[in-house]
Amino acid sequence: MTQDRAARTRATLIRAAAVEFDRYGYAATSMNRIARSAGLSTGALTFHFARKDDLANAVVDQACRLSSGVQERALRRDPERTPLVRLGVLVTELLRCMHEHAEVRGSVRLELDRPDAEVTWSVRWLEAVRKLAAQAQGNGGLPRHLRPEQIETLVRLFVFGPGSWRRDGVVPWSEYSELWATVWEGVQGSDGPQTPGRRIQP
């Protein structure tokens, strides 16, 4: 098998696994189901991934690559955008990634199903959320009645919430991003400075 063909096969298997994990959860998804979904033999699957756990970790790794620029852009200092504005955009972009990439949706479901897993999709962007919330608190931009850890809880609810109730395999992007924009606008305007008329655009 050539390197290019092997890479394509791995990508096909990872995407198929992501779709199945997202749809059925980790426990109910078998290696046979993933192989069928990918249109490959079980032998071809186990050649690349000996265990289901290895395949799950590969899905998460791919999701991290697909969304790697999101937290980097959010942490980049911008005099035109406050930490709270950048945090709001960060979540909007995470929701967009969930809508566009099966690997991200699969990783969300895997994180719900495997809370003790060492490899998770959220580890890097949650760090960005904490940093931005702390910056907002430090410069007086965070409403006085809110704490950084409460902001983190709110973000977790929005990002992981769709994975706990949807059944059609697609995040309702327009509806959910608009809801987030409305909630986040309220957070920015509840107490303390905000940019008049500024709204997070999905």
Which pTM value belongs to this model? 0.84
Q: Domain 3-62 is classified in which CATH homologous superfamily?
A: Homeodomain-like (1.10.10.60)
For 88-138, what is each residue's pLDDT tens digit? 999 999 999 988 999 999 999 999 999 899 889 999 899 999 999 999 999
Q: pLDDT band for 193, please (50, 70, 90 cuts).
A: very low
pLDDT at position 171: 58
pLDDT at position 119: 86
Domain limits of the chain? Answer: 3-62, 66-189
* Fold of the 66-189 domain: Tetracycline Repressor; domain 2 (1.10.357)
What type of residue sits at position 16? Answer: A
Residue 193: DSSP 8-state: -
User: Is pLDDT of 167 > 60?
Assistant: no
Residue, of 20 and 190, whose pLDDT is higher:
20
Phi/psi region, residue 169 (left: phi>0; alpha: psi -120 to 50; beta: rest), is left
Q: pLDDT band for 3, please (50, 70, 90 cuts).
A: confident
Structure token digits, residue 73:
């852009």
Cβ atoms of 173 and 99 within 8 Å: the answer is yes
- Locate the DSSP E strands across 149-202: none
